[in-house]
Amino acid sequence: MKPKSPVMNTRRDFLQKIAASAMVLPLMPLAGWAKDLQHYDGPVLRVAIMGLGSYGSRVADAMQACVKAKLVGVISGTPSKIKDWQSRFSIPDKNCYNYENFDRIKDNKDIDAVYITTPNALHHDEAIRIAAAGKHVICEKPMALNAKQGQEMIAACKKANVKLLVGYRMHFEAKTLEVIRMRKNGDFGKIMFFQGLCGFRIGDPTQWRLNKELAGGGSLMDIGIYAINGSRYMTGEDPIWVTAQETKTDPVKFKEGVDETIQFQLGFPSGAVASCLSTYNMNYLDRFYLNGEKGFAEMQPSTGYGPIRGRTHKGELTQPHVTHQTVQMEEMAGIILEGKQPVVAVDGEEALKDLKIIDAIYHAVKTGQKVDLKLS
């Protein structure tokens, strides 16, 4: 009898297991990451985290190694979590807020930005309130439930003259950036094909990720966005059409509007195509493959918390691992405070393109038709 596949409750569990499987790779100590910054005496981005769940905790822990970004505040609806974080991270009472009163951060000069790590459906209203309070917004992906909400968030941040950034941590990951560099350098030749496989078997049926009102969908809104976004930075193009098909084997667990498995295909202006899979019903899926006329790149794990593993036709990728969220927050501080330009954008406009693709995928599933895309 074959052993049963392990059941994972969330994307966080999935990414943690993927990370554990890759731990045979050498790690770079966080001290190594900070080595070149140890004499840094420039501006520091002072951040409050909204939503003190597992991912918020991961970001907070990673920020302890940052020199350009510092955790200074929290926003939560759970008083016990606030007390715990105050103890762990030395956060003063005046920088603690709940979901009813966090508009008061407008008067708090010790907070520059708020990082939203709450469920998808809350991002839109929270981001608009944060912008109205005059603080920069960092939001987890997907940025919103749909493109309309995303547009409204962008408009609110522009009106308030604050930055809107999205937690695309892979845009700063060393092996990912090396593949992008090689592609730009022409090492792969003309890009022909991309494959993105993202999924895990989700557990607890009562969690918010299986609640359409909070999640906005199912696997596509959670794990599938990695393949959507990855198809764009791996090929270096934005798609111009999409087709998609949904498979649902458990309509009790995956209720109406909560997708279990979606396969989708993308077409790009150059003629390149992508074939992607997003699922809540299969384990051991975290793979990107890029094919060109002169070579290839393969990454597996491709989007986990790391270490990422990868190879190309030229050999193994050997860039050292640094905690993704540490690098992300350092780089985002540079974007906000110093006007730095990342290799791959992490702003609201970048996230809006993914939301337009998500809208189109769901429309293609519903209609069975090919849907044309206009992302800019």
pLDDT digits (tens, 9 = 90+) for 93-139: 999 999 999 999 999 999 999 999 999 999 999 999 999 999 999 99
Q: Is 315 left (phi over 0), alpha (psi -120 to 50) or beta?
A: left
* Cβ 207 vs Cβ 254: under 8 Å: no
Banded model confidence at residue 39, pLDDT cuts 50, 70, 90: confident
**φ and ψ at residue 55, rounded to 5 degrees:** -75, -40
Banded model confidence at residue 18, pLDDT cuts 50, 70, 90: low
Domains observed in the chain? 23-168 (3.40.50.720), 170-320+347-372 (3.30.360.10)
In angstroms, rounded to a whole number, what is the distance separating the alpha carbons of residues 102 and 349?
26
To the nearest whole percent, how much of the chain has pLDDT over 90?
89
**φ and ψ at residue 32, rounded to 5 degrees:** -65, -40
> For the segment 292-344, what is each residue's pLDDT rounded down to a tens digit?
999 999 999 999 999 999 999 999 999 999 999 999 999 999 999 999 999 99
Banded model confidence at residue 30, pLDDT cuts 50, 70, 90: very low
> For the segment 134-164, what is each residue's pLDDT rounded down to a tens digit?
999 999 999 999 999 999 999 999 999 999 9
CA atoms within 13 A on the CB side of 234: 33
- Residues tagged active-site: 141, 226
Q: Around Cβ 180, how many Cβ atoms within 10 Å?
A: 18
Q: Is pLDDT of 17 > 80?
A: no
> For the segment 168-226, what is each residue's pLDDT rounded down to a tens digit?
999 999 999 999 999 999 999 999 999 999 999 999 999 999 999 999 999 999 999 99
